[in-house]
Amino acid sequence: MTVYNIALIGFGGVNRALAGLIATKNPQWERQLGFQLNIVAVSDLYLGSVISPNGLDPRMLTEANFTKGGFGQLSGGSSEADNETVIKLAPADIVVEATFTNPKDGEPAVSHCRWALQAGKHVVTTNKGPVALAAQELKALAKSRGVRFEYEGAVMSGTPVMRLADKTLAGAEMKGFEGILNGTSNFVLGRMEGGLDFSSAVKEAQALGYAEADPTADVEGHDVRLKVVILANELLGANLKPEDVTCEGISRLSPHDIETAAKENCRWKLIGSAARGVDGIVVGSVAPKRLALEHPLAGVGGATNAVSLNTELLGSVTITGPGAGRVETAYALLSDIVAIHSAQPSKDAKEAA
């Protein structure tokens, strides 16, 4: 049986959901996917850190009501979040980075990924900072150490847009994309259409685990801007930085704007897009757009995301699915680990070699 030892960096909504899945689904994963996951370390700003080479009980981690510094009570624990020690010294095969997304410089998550890869550990992350701001460096580092840097959850949560584009649509010649790439703002717009005020709708999105630690990133478009950068660089081979992408969020839309659109059979959506121009240059933008109800993106509601990929050989291909949510995003981490597992040489191949 293959067991991957994992270290969780950040123990908020997403990594806690992953621990919850491990608590119940390991036997099923062993049967269906060929591996189990064993949590050997956790580090969190609020709870502290713990290293346990034999593994921590995932049920205990999710169900114990730890207070500030609570990991200090555990064997091998400390009330401080010593991320660097955990990442470098815990006996983990895979480091799971799910701390907050820092849209300015990606830190401290970029350093977390760098330390892990330098130590020869795979990294899976849902954090948009390292992917939007340091992907080239981190991919090169992973390659040089013979490990993987995987980040499907950085765009559209567990909905596999990057693997779809990279693997299934290989050769279709991507020309551009446009989509709804932020669950929180889409949820908020929908609730405002139903008559709720802006700040109450944002609070609901926070309670449901969709919003960023600072929801300004969601409603001002900064989160979508990072996702446009990631998709443009991954799908269109661009080399965009966030400041290259124009950005406007939804906070200036008034209840009157939303009501007027509805009366005229339209709906406001926050759209992130990028396309390669005739000069070969990729240009990206984030802006609220008033879409007619017949538009393919107009019917996408709640925290659901959708992106239409514009290809040379197939025309437009639209993928839709969850864009946020704790379990949905934890699934993205699992899908990254499946990708790592699938890339490992099989036992037979190793024996033959």
Ligand X SMILES: NC(=O)C1=CN([C@@H]2O[C@H](COP(=O)(O)OP(=O)(O)OC[C@H]3O[C@@H](n4cnc5c(N)ncnc54)[C@H](OP(=O)(O)O)[C@@H]3O)[C@@H](O)[C@H]2O)C=CC1
Pair type for strands 266-276 and 174-180: antiparallel
Residue in 134, 169, 324, 340 binding ligand HSE, rule: CB under 6 A: 324
Transcribe 155-201 into DSSP letters. Answer: TTTTS-HHHIIIIITTTS-EEEEEEE--HHHHHHHHHHHTT--HHHH
Identify which of residues 7 and 340 has a Cβ nearer to ligand X in the complex: 7
Site string for ligand HSE, 163-182 (x = CB under 6 A): -------------------x
Residue 234 binds which entry of ligand X, ligand HSE, none, CB below 5-8 Å type-dependent: none
Structure tokens that stand for 47 in this block: 């709870």
Under a CB-based contact definition with an 8 Å cutoff, are residues 300 and 193 in contact? Answer: no
Q: What is the DSSP letter of 43?
A: E
CA pair distance 74, 61, nearest whole angstrom:
10
Q: Restricting to residues 234-263, which ones interact with ligand HSE according to CB under 6 A?
A: none
Q: Does 218 bind ligand HSE (CB under 6 A)?
A: yes
Identify which of residues 165 and 211 has a Cβ nearer to ligand HSE in the complex: 211
Ramachandran bin of 310, using left for φ above 0, alpha for ψ from -120 to 50, beta for the remaining angles: beta
List for the chain the helix, strand, coil content (%; round to 5).
Answer: 45, 25, 35
Under a CB-based contact definition with an 8 Å cutoff, are residues 165 and 234 in contact? Answer: yes
The radius of gyration computed from the CA coordinates of the chain, to the nearest angstrom, equals 21
Active site residue 227: yes
Beta carbon of residue 292, minimum distance to ligand HSE (angstroms, whole number): 24
Beta carbon of residue 261, minimum distance to ligand X (angstroms, whole number): 27
Q: Which stretch binds ligand HSE (CB under 6 A): 44-52, 103-111, 210-218, 274-282?
A: 210-218
Beta carbon of residue 36, minimum distance to ligand X (angstroms, whole number): 23
Beta carbon of residue 189, minimum distance to ligand HSE (angstroms, whole number): 12
How many residues make contact with ligand X (CB under 6 A)? Answer: 30
Identify which of residues 213 and 314 has a Cβ nearer to ligand X in the complex: 213
Which spans of this chain sit near ligand HSE (rule: CB under 6 A)? Answer: 157, 182-184, 210-212, 218, 223, 323-324
Query: Which residues form the catalytic set?
Result: 227
